[in-house]
Amino acid sequence: MKRFLILIVCVLTIMSLSACQPTPVEDAVVNKGEGQLEEKIEAAPAEEKPFVAPESLHIDSFGTDEFQVVVDAEVVVPNTTRYPVVEIEQRDFTADWMRTLMQTMADGKPIYTYDNETPQTKGEILGEITSLQDMLANPENYLPNGVSDEMRSESITEWQKSLDAWQEAYQTASDVFEEKEIDLSSNTFASLGQITGAVDFGKSRKAYLTINGMVGGSGGSVEFNNLDDGVGLPFNFDLDSDFTNMNDITISKEEAIQLGLDFIEKLGDSNFAPSLILAGYCEPRGGSTSQIEDYPQCFKILYTRSVEGVPTTYRESKYDLFIDSPLPSDNSNSVQSGASDQYAPYCPQEYIELIIRDSGVNYMYWEMPSKQTLILNKNVELKSFDEIIERFKNQVLYESFPSLDADDSVIKKTLVIDRVELGMMQVRKKDSITTLMMVPTWTFFGKTILKYTEPQPGGYPLNENNEYTSEVPGYSYMIINAIDGSIINPVLGY
């Protein structure tokens, strides 16, 4: 039997793994490590040598009657002799960079405007102007309670910049939408923070190009949508696929990976490597009565940036913001990470998602393009594998304890860790709002098994043991800083 994943239905299961945490066995140190992190980063580079770790990790089931943790995992260690720490920054979406990227994605063909949800006519733009004017007049209605004066001032400044940009765009906007070739020689699109366009590549629908930047700031995303005729995006995945004999696919996994790397290099970046590969089933456009197993397929490949030759670990982050941050426990000595600790806006990890078929790249989404700015340590000293696993065993029940009250029919939950990976990951620099670092981390991946009293009307399909397995590829259940052993909260970024 193939195991299928439908991403949408997994959210509630993941959400149920937060809240009601027990007191941890030892203090939960988050980005502190009693100064150990800073000391190791500032120290002289360590001797270069391969990191010693077993190829697999097995830990007998432990926990409570209601919540068990099982570890039967592959241990993934990069083929490198050094682990750097570097500073990075979100890329500035300048007019020149956006212009070059649009021309590259269009492969030199003309780029036309298209009617989408982005305001383009005078009436649509006027709605944006009116909304921003109200935000500036009544900021308390749009800012969270207790926001700092600095954040309030920054928000108002951004709103004013957006208002100025929309008022400028209003002057030349049409009363009704008219398709026309985009004038890339103008810098107006950069002031708006967004540029969209459509390109005719000979398919029944045009390819859609979108660059979303932060007005007056850095960071954003890039999207390329050039789907084959009759084929949509994949929302279902075969978790057991060996990537052979795929529907409507003749290229191999290796060929698909190279097509993706070539596409990324064409965009001007050669420092990416594949981190997660899935076999997807593409939703037929226009509807279909076929079974999912008969849908046309694709490769979904997640690429991450390598840092000084060391790969970055990809972790699924779509559900991060559904999960509450841990709140202080009764252990007054532990340093907890609550919602009040989020001193800067959420900043997602960088990755490039590509949907690849025989025709090439059908879709790309580039989240938060970044660039390296400073090497802080060419080879930082890491904690031993045994120390990391002790930290995991001491903290996993606290970090991942389920809220059984969420569903009284669930009598037991089991967290199964099946992959433990060492790689680079983005964190915030201590006491800094804007500075980000790439540091070595250990990431624990797996799945959860929910055991019910009996089959539930309208609920998940259960196996013969009344169990439901929830597995989201790339979703992690714990991240440990490999330098100081601190637990990293992916929502807070430290």
Domain C-terminal end among 136, 163, 178: 178
Same domain, 242 and 318: yes
**491 belongs to a structural domain:** no
**293 belongs to a structural domain:** yes
What pLDDT, in 10s, does the model give residues 364-412?
999 999 999 999 999 999 999 999 999 999 999 887 654 444 567 889 9
C-beta pairs of 74-80 under 8 Å, 24+ apart in sequence: 74/418, 74/419, 74/420, 75/385, 75/420, 75/421, 76/419, 76/420, 76/421, 76/422, 76/423, 77/50, 77/51, 77/53, 77/422, 78/310, 78/311, 78/422, 78/423, 80/50, 80/309, 80/310
Same domain, 308 and 252: yes
Same domain, 348 and 398: no
Q: What is the pLDDT of residue 176?
A: 83
**256 belongs to a structural domain:** yes
Residue 286 · residue 230 · CB < 8 Å = yes
**How many domains does the chain contain in total?**
3
Tokens read off for 231: 């084929």
Residue with tokens 């409507």: 248
Domain C-terminal end among 130, 154, 178: 178
**492 belongs to a structural domain:** no
**493 belongs to a structural domain:** no
Residue 428 · residue 437 · CB < 8 Å = yes
Contacts of 409 (CB under 8 A, 6+ apart): 452, 453, 454, 456, 459
Same domain, 14 and 163: no
Same domain, 233 and 290: yes
Same domain, 381 and 278: no
Same domain, 381 and 364: no
Q: Which domain holds residue 270?
A: 91-117+182-371
- 453-489 as b/e: b if 16+ CB within 10 A: eeeeeeeeebeeeeebebbbbbbbbbbbbbbbbbbbb
**494 belongs to a structural domain:** no
3-class secondary structure, 81: coil
Residue 222 · residue 366 · CB < 8 Å = yes
Tokens read off for 408: 């009284």
**489 belongs to a structural domain:** no
**Residue ranges of the chain with per-residue pLDDT less than 70:** 1-2, 4-34, 115-117, 215-218, 319-345, 400-407, 431-434
Residue 490 · residue 337 · CB < 8 Å = no
Domain C-terminal end among 371, 389, 423: 371
Same domain, 202 and 263: yes
Same domain, 304 and 366: yes
Same domain, 199 and 260: yes
Cβ atoms within 10 Å of 350's Cβ, excluding its own: 25
- Residues 146 and 143: their CA atoms lie apart, in Å, by 9
Contacts of 357 (CB under 8 A, 6+ apart): 228, 231, 248, 249, 251, 282, 296, 297, 298, 299
- Residues 60 and 479: their CA atoms lie apart, in Å, by 21
Element (H or E) spanning 211, and its range?
strand 207-213
What pLDDT, in 10s, does the model give residues 110-163?
999 876 667 878 998 999 999 999 999 999 999 988 888 998 999 999 999 999
End-to-end CA distance of the chain: 40
Same domain, 139 and 64: no
What pLDDT, in 10s, does the model give residues 323-361?
544 433 333 333 333 444 555 667 789 999 999 999 999
- Residues 2 and 279: their CA atoms lie apart, in Å, by 12
Q: What is the pLDDT of residue 329?
A: 37
Q: What is the pLDDT of residue 124?
A: 86
Same domain, 34 and 154: no
**486 belongs to a structural domain:** no
